[in-house]
Every structure is written in C-alpha cells, then in structure tokens.
Structure 1
Amino acid sequence: MSNLLGKRLRIGIAIPSTNTSAQPEMDDMRPFDVTNHIARIVIEDDSLADEAGFNKVIQDIRRATPDAIRSLRHCGLGAIIAAVSPDGYWEGQEAHETLHRELSAFGGDAKIIMSADAIPAALNALGGLRRVGLISPYLELGDKPVSRFFTDSGIDVIASHGLGGRTPSNISDVTLADLRDAVLAVNHREVEAIVQVGTNVPMAAFAQMAETWIGKPVLANNAVLYWHALRSCGISDPIPGRGMLHESG
C-alpha cells in the first residue's frame, strides 16, 4: 500500500452514472489516511414511475455493476461499496445473498458493502433496534419491495414515506423541506429509528440534524454504507456531524 495516500484504507465506491449524491457525501466522511476511489455504473435515466421502467433500471444496474466493480479490483482496496439500493432489495434476502456472492467474485480481495447488509448491522450496533420508520426515494411502486425486504429480515416497518423520485437522477432533486416532511411522516411513537434508503438522496447531513430534534437515530443510506465499510475494515474513528452511529466510534 502507498506510503503517501490511503495508508490506513482504500475504499472503492461503485455509483450509478445518474447519482450525484453518494460521492460528495462519502468524501465528506473520510477519516485521516483513508481514500475513496470511484467507478461509475453506466445506466440510462429511465422512468421509475411504471413497472417496465423500474425493471429496466434494475436490469441495467445488474448488467453494469460487475464491470464497475471489476474496474476497481487492482486498486489495493479493503472494501468496495456497491451504492445501488434497488438491486439490494428488489427480490428479497435470498436474491440479495446471491448477488453479494456474484459481486464478491468480481471484487478480488475487497469486502463488498451493500445497503441490505449495512443497515441491519447499523441497527444492531445501536442496540438491536427493530421498529423503524422507512424513507424511500421512490413512488409507491418502489416502496413496497423495500418495505417487504425489511419485514422479511425481521425488522418491523411501522411507517413508510416515499420521496417520489421519477427517474434515477431526479431522486436527488429534494429540498430540506421534503426531507423534514419525510422524517415527520414516519416518526411514529413506536418507531425506534428512522432509516432512509436510496443512495442518490442527499440526506447524510440532514439526518444528523433531525436526530437532534426527534431524539432517535436517523440512518441515511450513504452514511450507513460508509460506516459499514470502515467498521468492516477495522477503522472505528468517530466522524463528527454524521449522527449517533458515526459518533459512537
């Protein structure tokens, strides 16, 4: 490993070509002597408003993700984050495990980090939380499979709210008011934590602010993925400004 950069850890991040949120949010979370290395998963900006369009986006992600991960394998990485939420949840736990094995074969020695593993790990690290309010980037069409994945994994989805993204790139077109309203919509009394999925939702900084006024963990997808990558590679630095999960070390 280099004597100059990435002495402690190098992290690969495979990001859809439509995604403008994951890279800047994860760059803001880098501890000292950790470097990020980006690959693009080339997809079209197709509609998420109908089943045919949604299925095409998922198929495009599946087709292009292995090549993106393969392009990172010679960088001496400790972990590769596959920043593609839909493919992690769409067909259930068994399909996710199969996909994880397939991507691991392309990643060489790097650990493959996916949302479907990182979020349950974060809930466990925060005390085994099991009752969540779920924020998704999608319309109702995409909300149901995500909720079902969590339920099948033993996590109770008390309330859910979709941000209404109509294309992969459009997912990032949210306002602070949109994020506030989403948190309020799912913050029921029984909810122990709020979970936001969708790596093109720029919610990492807002999630930390929301925690200060609801008094519960708010887990933003990109922040959780990066936390899981660091912890999986033995780095436990607390990261200020990214909420209870990161600040706990």
Structure 2
Amino acid sequence: MSRDALGFRRKFGVLGPSTNTIVQPDFDAMRPYGVTNHYSRIFTPNSAAVSNESSVAGTRLIGDNVMAAVDSVMTSQPDYLVMGMSAVTFFDGKKGADLFQKQVEDRSGVGISIGSHSCTAALQAYGGVKRIAFMSPYWPAINEQVRRYFTDMGYEVVRDHCMQARSWIGIAEITTAQCREVLRMIDGDDVDAIIQVGTNLSMVKLAAAAELWLGKPVIAINTATYWHALRHNGITQQMEGFGRLLEEF
C-alpha cells in the first residue's frame, strides 16, 4: 500500500480549540520521524472574563463543534486522531469519557486518544498510584468534573487547584513561575502523583523537570495524550526531555 511521503509511519489528525496555541507546538515537539500531525481547529469563541457558568457553557459549545472538526480533518485520511482539548473529555465522569470517545470513533472510523483516558493510562504505566492531586487553568465547576472522572477511575483526589484563567486565550499566557507555585501548593507526602489538565496550559517541560525535584510522577496532559497515541499505534521509541512517560514507558 502506498504511504504518505512524510507520515509514512502514521498520520495523526489533531483536534483542538481554535483558541488553543499550545497543543500544536507541544505535539510537534514530541513527534517522531515518520509521524505527522494535521491540526483541525474546533471553532471556539474567545470568551472573556470566564466564570463557572461561562466556562461550562463554553466547554459544551466546544464539544458541540467537535464533529465539524472531525469531518474536516478526515479529508486528509489520517490513521488516527488525537484530542487536543481536555475539559470535554472529563465531563460526566468515566461514562461521559467513554461516550465522547465512541461518538468520535463512530463518526471518523478511526481510533482516538483523549486526554482523560490517556492520563489514566499514564498513571497505570507508572504503577503504584492511588492518591493524586491535579491542577488546571479552569474554574471550580470544571474541576469538579475532572475530580469526578478520576474518582470514577478509582483514584483518591487529595487536592486540586484551578487557576481561573480569564479567557480561553489567557490560559496560554499563564507563566511557568505561576505553574511552579501551584505544583508546590498541591504537592505533599499524601500525594502519589500530580496531573496537569488543560491543553492550552504550557506544562510539558515543567512537568518533566518537576519529576526530578518532587521525586514522583508529574503528568502533563499533552504529554500523556501524545504518548498514548504513539504507543497505541505501535510506536515505542523513547524520547528524552519530556519526563519518564516518554523516556521509560
């Protein structure tokens, strides 16, 4: 069978909000030779002064617009899809995550890695994790959905923190220093692993570094999702600079 000249190992269709400026460079940085990423933007108005109510409504709007982005990217005939937006994959717990994945796979006819289940797979790869803390750029109402999902998956959520970004684009403007302070805030001897959700939050490099000085798994959702897509497609090569997940598992 003929193969794409550049994506001869795999062509990934990446679905992300149109306001998201972090996922595309993050995934490209983790892209092995022979794998190509083809970004399809989910139309997302840049809601300003995001609140509990508007963040939930905005997230559901993104979810409603996913299928149009799926239809668009499928014209490039990708082998697999990678979800570059996390909040919608946590809504309604495990049941909601399973339903979202099934709807996209039924529509596209190919598999997809979604943020919620990819984080669970990452936790299982590390092993021995029972108690977690997580951080997000979201507002409390969305953090409740993330907490519900991880509880459904059998983890005890010890602590969480929402950074309450004031717009969707504003998430990408959160600094490494701010993220580092939150990591310190939610860490503790009662936490086995820390997870960062929110794909427009730049945490891939910080999470990798934090594993060294915290001595425990620190999982950035963009790393977990792209790792899951690679491994699910039989691409097992290891990569330095993105934490233990890509280096060891």
d(CA) in 2 for partners of 1:162, 1:52: 15
Shift of 1:60: 1.5
Within 5 A, what are the aligned runs for 1:12-27? 12-27=13-28
Q: Deviations over 1:29-60 (max 9, x none)?
A: 01111111110000111246334312321232
Q: Report the equivalent of 1:197.
A: 197
- Answering whether residue 16 of structure 2 is matched by residue 4 of structure 1, we say no
Q: Report the equivalent of 2:29.
A: 28
Q: Runs of 5+ in structure 2 lacking a partner? A: none
- Answering whether residue 226 of structure 2 is matched by residue 235 of structure 1, we say no
Say which SS state the counterpart of residue 246 (structure 1) adopts.
helix
Q: How many residues align?
A: 248
Q: Runs of 5+ in structure 1 lacking a partner? A: none
Q: Report the equivalent of 1:83.
A: 84
Say which SS state the counterpart of residue 134 (structure 2) adopts.
strand
Say which SS state the counterpart of residue 30 (structure 1) adopts.
coil
The answer to whether the 8 Å contact 1:187/1:194 transfers is yes
Q: Report the equivalent of 2:70.
A: 69
The answer to whether the 8 Å contact 2:56/2:142 transfers is no
Say which SS state the counterpart of residue 71 (structure 1) adopts.
helix
Q: Report the equivalent of 2:104.
A: 103
Say which SS state the counterpart of residue 66 (structure 2) adopts.
helix
Structure 2 letter corresponding to 1:239: M
Say which SS state the counterpart of residue 5 (structure 2) adopts.
coil
Say which SS state the counterpart of residue 57 (structure 1) adopts.
helix
The answer to whether the 8 Å contact 2:51/2:139 transfers is no
d(CA) in 1 for partners of 2:48, 2:96: 23
Superposition TM-score, scaled by structure 2 size = 0.94
Moved beyond 6 Å, runs of 4+: none
The answer to whether the 8 Å contact 1:131/1:192 transfers is yes
Over the matched positions of the two proteins, sequence identity in percent amounts to: 33
The answer to whether the 8 Å contact 1:41/1:61 transfers is yes
- The change in CA–CA distance for 1:52 and 1:133 in structure 2 (over 3 A counts) is closer
- The change in CA–CA distance for 1:167 and 1:3 in structure 2 (over 3 A counts) is closer
Q: Deviations over 1:185-215 (max 9, x none)?
A: 1111021111000000010011111111111
d(CA) in 2 for partners of 1:84, 1:25: 13
Say which SS state the counterpart of residue 94 (structure 1) adopts.
helix
Q: Deviations over 1:158-187 (max 9, x none)?
A: 111122212211111111211111111111
Structure 1 vs Structure 2 CA RMSD:
1.5
